[in-house]
Structure 1
Amino acid sequence: MKNLKFIILTVIIAFVAFLSCERDDICSDDTSTTSRLFIQFYNSANTENVKNAFKLRIQGVGNEEVLSDYNIVTANSIYLPLKTTETSTQFVLHKDYVLNDDGTTEGNADTITINYATELEYVSKACGYKTVFENVTISVEDDGDKWIDYILSATDNEPISNEDEAHFNLYH
């Protein structure tokens, strides 16, 4: 009998707690939060064709960690997280990356600089604010051996507030 009372009491407490939650108390996975920059890769000789970059490795400048999704992979698009407390972010995109046994690397590394303005947008009580990136531009450092030919906006420089469509096209 004691166990039955305990179970009933637990169920009633859980039910009351569930009913007291409001929609804004939980930030669902479906809720749009700060978006990453979505870049699609294209063939610069035939600009309508998507083109893979092989053995791609991406690392943030000033950050020793490699982006976990892009550590020597083949990709025709990338998602890059931008710094929300600054107005620029840099990445090294290393194509044909090879780490030799002696610790040296091979391949072609290009550094891109992404400049932008940020604006906070209220999402909900549970999710808080998300950062929207505006006036985004990307430049590629010319080291004399670029594998990236050029990068163009795919959205006429609309604010970056979702990841549904590519924001920029990278031609190589």
Structure 2
Amino acid sequence: MSIKFSMVGRPVYSFGISSIGLLLLFVFIVISACEKDDICVDGDTPLLIIRFYDAADSVTLKSVASLRIIGIGNGEPLTTFTDRSSRDSVAIPLRINEANTQFQIILNSDGEDNTETGNIDTLQFNYETNEVFVSRACGFVANYELASNSLTSDTDNWIQGIEIINAAVTSQVNAHVKIFH
């Protein structure tokens, strides 16, 4: 049996039942072969969360006035927070392809034309990088295991102490490091 559509006595379209069945089968196969859209929603490498505390009262958060952080080797202020703002916590990136990252952390940052007048302390974080497969859409992300940190000593350190409180940098939910000032 076939279905014919005609126009002035001549068939224009002619489909057999088997042709319609094959067409429907093809459409079903194509639709069923589709997978969920590859949209990455949870595939970001976590940032290191630092909280600033009062050195005299180690449980009280204390903002850093006009904070600026510059990645050594990068030369530019970090863009993960508003530059030269007063903050009691920051999220900063670590280098994926290195075993350490150094930062200049500046209190009371001010100045123009690469002339910084604030109090600069240099801090280094040492860590191991672990790549974790998230999904086909996201690929791999880097997680870190903090091993140590070091503060370069100078005549006017405003940072008085550093404590790693969560060495596993696998999310940005909780703080990883306390800095006392």
Counterparts of 1:32-111 in structure 2, within 5 Å, are 32-68=43-79, 69-99=81-111, 104-111=115-122
- In 2: Cα distance, 1:112 partner to 1:104 partner: 20
- In 1: Cα distance, 2:73 partner to 2:175 partner: 26
1:60-105 residue CA offsets vs partner (Å, 9 max, x unmatched): 00112111224211000011100001100001001011115x8633
* Residue pair 1:58, 1:70 contacting (<8 A) in 2 also: no
- In 2: Cα distance, 1:67 partner to 1:131 partner: 19
Alignment partner of 1:161 is 2:170: yes
Matched-pair identity in %: 33
What does residue 6 of structure 1 align with?
A: none
Count of matched residue pairs:
152
What does residue 150 of structure 1 align with?
A: 161
Classify 1:146/1:164 alpha carbon distance in 2 versus 1 (closer, same or farther; 3 Å): same
For the pair shown, the structure with the greater C-alpha radius of gyration is: 2
- In 1: Cα distance, 2:64 partner to 2:43 partner: 29
- The ranges of structure 1 where at least 4 consecutive aligned residues each deviate by more than 2 angstroms after the TM superposition are 102-105
Root-mean-square deviation (CA), in Å? 2.2
What does residue 149 of structure 2 align with?
A: 138
Gaps of 5+ in 2: 1-29
- In 2: Cα distance, 1:34 partner to 1:72 partner: 25
The one-letter code of the counterpart of 1:46 is: D
The one-letter code of the counterpart of 2:36 is: E
Higher relative contact order (CA 8 A, sep 6+): 1
Normalising by structure 2, report the TM-score.
0.77
Give SS of 2:61's match: coil
The one-letter code of the counterpart of 1:160 is: V
